[in-house]
């Protein structure tokens, strides 16, 4: 789901950088010292999950786990995802430094949305509601990211319309896999360490 260097227009790059800067600022403000290990672990999980890529033109399909990151971190997903994407761009040339702001927003903004939609049902619901909310959180995290990626490409030029269709279709199986992984993880964490999934 990384957008490569040289694809997006300067206006889209600047907009993504500004939006991500705001998100990171809010996330850092909400992060206290006790949360740093949790943010670091989830940033590492995001980093590792994103290493296996299936190229689709100028973008890649891969596991993201932004729904899980959002459910556990809320706004702190922005700095967590930013660090992982920065290291991927630096070490493996996934995405790029000029697209770092856009890529961060594409993956972190849906994470925050998922937090507000599903963290309370996961915290207060029974095991069935937790599993359903976890699945929807994981799947919709990827779905929302696909939409934001499509809007970024569309904002750059209409020549990307055919690619946008491919990107959306290619991420449908990823949505299902992410939903299953997120459902399992939140159900497991709720039993083992319920304080991690508290709203």
Which residue matches tokens 């033109």?
A: 57
Query: 43-65 pLDDT, tens per residue?
Result: 998 888 877 766 655 555 678 89
In CATH terms, the fold of domain 10-197 is Arp2/3 complex 21 kDa subunit ARPC3 (1.10.1760)
Are 19 and 105 in contact, with CB atoms under 8 Å apart?
A: yes
Q: Would you state the structure tokens that stand for residue 79, as one six-digit string?
A: 């700095």
User: For the chain, what are the domain ranges?
Assistant: 10-197
Element (H, E) at 131: helix 127-156
- Average pLDDT in the chain: 88
Instruction: Give this prediction's pTM.
Output: 0.88
Residue 185, pLDDT above cutoff 70: yes
Please say if the pLDDT value at position 195 is more than 90.
no
CB 27, CB 61: distance < 8 Å: no
pLDDT at residue 32, rounded to an integer:
87
- Left, alpha or beta for 32 (phi > 0: left; psi -120 to 50: alpha)? beta
* Residue-level pLDDT at 160: 80
Which pLDDT belongs to residue 56?
Answer: 58
**pLDDT tens-digit map of 144-182:** 999 999 999 888 888 788 878 887 887 888 899 899 999
Q: Which residues fall within 8 angstroms of residue 169, CB to CB, at 6 or more apart? A: none
Per-residue pLDDT band for 196 (boundaries 50, 70, 90) equals confident
- pLDDT tens-place string over residues 85-129: 999 888 888 778 999 999 999 999 999 999 999 999 998 888 899
Closest CA to 140 of 112, 107, 114, 122: 114
Q: What is the pLDDT of residue 2?
A: 76
Contact present, 21 and 171 (Cβ < 8 Å): no
What's residue 51's pLDDT?
Answer: 75
């Amino acid at each position: 789901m990384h957008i490569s260097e040289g694809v997006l227009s300067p206006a889209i790059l600047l907009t993504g950088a500004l939006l991500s800067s705001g998100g990171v600022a809010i996330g850092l403000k909400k992060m206290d010292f006790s949360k740093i290990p949790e943010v670091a672990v989830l940033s590492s999980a995001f980093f590792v999950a994103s290493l296996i890529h299936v190229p689709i033109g100028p973008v890649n399909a891969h596991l993201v786990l932004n729904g899980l990151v959002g459910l556990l971190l809320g706004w702190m997903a922005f700095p967590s995802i930013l660090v992982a994407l920065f290291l991927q761009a630096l070490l493996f040339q996934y995405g790029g430094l000029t697209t770092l702001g856009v890529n961060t927003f594409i993956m972190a903004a849906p994470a925050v949305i998922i937090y507000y939609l599903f963290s309370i049902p996961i915290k207060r619901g029974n095991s069935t509601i937790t599993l359903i909310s976890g699945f929807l959180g994981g799947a919709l995290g990827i779905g929302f990211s696909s939409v934001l990626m499509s809007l970024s490409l569309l904002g750059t030029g209409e020549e990307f319309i055919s690619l946008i269709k491919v990107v959306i279709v290619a991420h449908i199986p990823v949505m299902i896999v992410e939903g299953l992984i997120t459902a399992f993880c939140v159900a497991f964490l709720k039993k083992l360490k319920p304080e991690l999934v508290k709203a």
